[in-house]
Structure 1
């Protein structure tokens, strides 16, 4: 009986050797997987996992997919598998897999997405990304509206209401009427003086005029007739302003 057992063990040993020679075990680097994006089979080590789902895609396709999403200003990127609602891509999982510029764009996009109301510094040589403050509490609503604010990057003042360079002495509406070539420091000082003196501008040629005496009817040297109070066009015949209704 012992001889029969030894003979059976020898047969099983030789069978195992034959099986290993015919179907050798594949190394982990030789395992293949199928990518549903490029529709190609590639080594398994070239695939990346996605959090919260079982889908896998090759690194090349995922890199292009993430870059395309960033071009669409997307910050929170989900699994590219159609119909998947649980898979989420996290930047730290791709930190050493993506090109450095793509990873930095992704992180910047996520940071910007957390800013509730964003705008950029109005000074062209700065253009830093800023966050508009303001809460919804009743106490904050009762406080005085913030007008001048300072950029933390270039330390220059800008208007917190219209997000333009600070226009002391002029309200936002008056400032918006100024041309791009009329918003320099010296120009703003002139318009501040004009606001104090209640000077008016011709609605046609935009020249500044001052009334010495008489009614509100003004006739500019360009021929335009307008109201000195609101700058609305007036009739030369009856000197009546439909805006002021007088």
Structure 2
């Protein structure tokens, strides 16, 4: 059963590959450098791909009203958790364009490689995730839970506006996990990103600094040992 399922997935991947490459190439040809370019063209290009395929989607906005992501939602027929696929549609800057041996918005395939800014990070992943959403939507009657695909245009700015907007669009407690479409197919890397803040209260016995009998249970001494412990 498992082997058959893997073979079916591989066949689906081979079938979708030309369409994934074509969508990724279209996205690469649209400059969307973080904090530099207008994101409307790349957002519109994704929406134009999604609409004829009947995929439910909406734009997410920052508190000041700017579009920061597109969210694609596939709802299963049975209750269950939300799994998130995440890829960014904005890119790093081009840098010195005279140093490029081809256009940073080439969007062509040369010697088996898709060329242009965003081919690796991560418009190709965005194209793949759109196709995954389309495939799963055709089998939503077998799905327990929901699929959410986040296509962020506020990632390379360092603001992570799309990710933050997702936390208001979907209840965080419902999310079972997120998979990020970063470059490389050699392995699946499991990790965490972000900041966890905690407030610790350390208790001890007060004592005078000039006492002939220093108190080893002083709260400050305990706090110092705590923060230096490995």
| Structure 1 and Structure 2 fold alike (TM over 0.5) | no
Identify, as 1 or 2, the structure richer in strand: 2
- Which bracket does the TM-score occupy, shorter chain normalised? under 0.3
TM-score by length of 1: 0.21
